[in-house]
Amino acid sequence: MQSDLHVWQLILSASWMVKMVMLILLAASVTSWMMIFRKRQMLAAAEKGANAFEEQFWSGTDLTKLYETVSRNNSGGGLERIFESGFKEFTRMREQGRMTPGVLVEAAQRGMRIALVRETDRLEHHLSYLATVGSTSPYIGLFGTVWGIMTSFHQLANVNQATIAMVAPGISEALIATAMGLFAAIPAVIAYNRYSNQVERLETRYENFTEEFSSILQRQAHALVNE
């Protein structure tokens, strides 16, 4: 308890510059933790949604009925949105008539590519912020430490005899800035590395589905032409 009070006393007695650095690091840490929890929920939902949709897609259900269900719900993302965009373009071009299989598949692929880019952007949203916090927070904290130590040594110029006790509080409060910088950076770096890996796996999964679905549409397109 006394140690906690001592730390708070050091923070309150810090110079205005060090306090500003601490405030910036505190805000960065709080914001990054909020993004960490939100990103965790979003990626978990994306993983769960992909599993559910692939199970339904590969169960042999009619694609037209599946498309109608997905369009009617209008709440899905990820694979559902990619499937919906591709099949929508395929159906639209097919209804125009006199289309070659290549044109039909190319239209579907174009729609899926657009949806894939949007889903990728959604998955990667806020990851750059975590990377920024993880890479810059230690340096911001180090700046506060350097400023605090520099201020402590400047104060020694006004005394005749310098002692460790005179500079210890200033150096201690300065080192708190470094500790806060690490406290903000370490979780952000860990979360960024973990979530980047998850996003990369999901993107690969989306791309594989796009290729597999394109093959299915190509077979359907050839079957329509041969009718």
pLDDT in tens, 186-225: 999 999 999 999 999 999 999 999 999 999 988 888 776 6
Q: Is residue 6 one of the residues assigned to a domain?
A: no
Q: Is residue 37 one of the residues assigned to a domain?
A: yes
What's the rounded mean pLDDT across residues 120-139?
Answer: 92
* Residues in CB range of 156: below 8 A, 6 or more apart: 162, 166, 167
24 pLDDT band, cuts 50/70/90, is: very high
Q: Is residue 174 one of the residues assigned to a domain?
A: yes
pLDDT, mean over the chain? 84
pLDDT at 49 over 70: yes
* Residues in CB range of 72: below 8 A, 6 or more apart: none
**In terms of residue numbers, what domain contains 162?**
16-226
> Tens digit of pLDDT for each residue in 73-129?
776 678 999 999 999 999 888 887 767 888 888 989 999 999 999 999 999 988 999
Q: Is residue 8 one of the residues assigned to a domain?
A: no
* Residues in CB range of 177: below 8 A, 6 or more apart: 18, 21, 22, 25, 140, 141, 142, 143, 144, 145, 148
Position 86 scores a pLDDT of 92
Q: Is residue 46 one of the residues assigned to a domain?
A: yes
2 pLDDT band, cuts 50/70/90, is: very low
From residue 215, alpha-carbon distances to 105, 157, 212 in Å are 9, 78, 5
pLDDT at 158 over 80: no
Q: Is residue 153 one of the residues assigned to a domain?
A: yes
Q: Is residue 9 one of the residues assigned to a domain?
A: no
Question: Which two structure tokens, joined as six digits, stand for 3?
Answer: 């140690």
Give CA–CA dist 20/38, Å, rounded. Answer: 27
* Residues in CB range of 37: below 8 A, 6 or more apart: none
What's the rounded mean pLDDT across residues 23-49?
Answer: 93
> What's the pTM?
0.82
Could you give the number of structural domains in the chain? Answer: 1
* Residues in CB range of 49: below 8 A, 6 or more apart: 76, 77, 78, 79, 80
Q: Is residue 3 one of the residues assigned to a domain?
A: no
